[in-house]
């Protein structure tokens, strides 16, 4: 195991994320991924669709670095509309399960006024820790 979830005694287990994570290994920092494809084209303005593409972009970056989704220890979501994010909860959850698969990640979600790309509705930044070779 590359990381260990930290939960203070008596705290309830959070749903869909971890409050803290301890990890050792090589660190990978992935810049904010948005909901466009590798050719920088948006295929949808739907929040759930953009979240799925952004998560797939994260998964592609992990693979390129020799990492896997279970190596993610921290994830920050920047969303342009909190209500739209919450309304897309089912689609986002399914996309998360499909692209990432686990929730033992310290996560934060922040509503922002805008993102640099005008059509972007979500940007996801990730830190992963890849286990040292044995």
| DSSP per-residue string spanning 95-117 | HHHHHT----SEEEEEE-S--SS
Per-residue confidence (pLDDT) for residue 2, from 0 to 100: 64
For the chain, what are the domain ranges? Answer: 20-130
CA–CA dist 119, 37 (Å, integer): 13
Per-residue confidence (pLDDT) for residue 90, from 0 to 100: 96
**Where does the pLDDT of residue 14 fall: very low under 50, low under 70, confident under 90, or very high at 90 and above?**
confident
CA–CA dist 51, 75 (Å, integer): 13
Helix ranges (H only) for 1-134 are 47-64, 82-87, 89-99
pTM for this entry: 0.91
pLDDT at 1 over 80: no
Superfamily classification of domain 20-130:
RutC-like (3.30.1330.40)
Tokens 């810049």 correspond to 31
pLDDT digits (tens, 9 = 90+) for 42-95: 999 999 999 999 999 999 999 999 999 999 999 999 999 999 999 999 999 999
pLDDT digits (tens, 9 = 90+) for 84-130: 999 999 999 999 999 999 888 999 999 999 999 999 999 999 999 99
């Amino acid at each position: 195991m590359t990381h260990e979830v930290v939960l203070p005694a008596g705290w309830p287990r959070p749903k869909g994320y971890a409050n803290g994570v301890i990890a050792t290994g090589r660190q990978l920092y992935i810049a904010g991924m948005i909901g466009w494809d590798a050719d920088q084209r948006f295929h949808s303005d739907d929040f759930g669709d953009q979240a799925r593409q952004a998560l797939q972009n994260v998964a592609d970056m992990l693979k390129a670095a020799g990492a896997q989704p279970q190596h993610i220890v921290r994830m920050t979501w920047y969303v342009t509309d909190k209500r739209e994010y919450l309304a897309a909860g089912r689609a986002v959850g399914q996309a998360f399960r499909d692209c990432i698969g686990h929730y033992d990640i310290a996560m934060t979600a922040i509503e922002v006024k805008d993102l640099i790309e005008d059509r972007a509705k979500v940007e996801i930044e990730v830190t992963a820790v890849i286990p040292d070779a044995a």
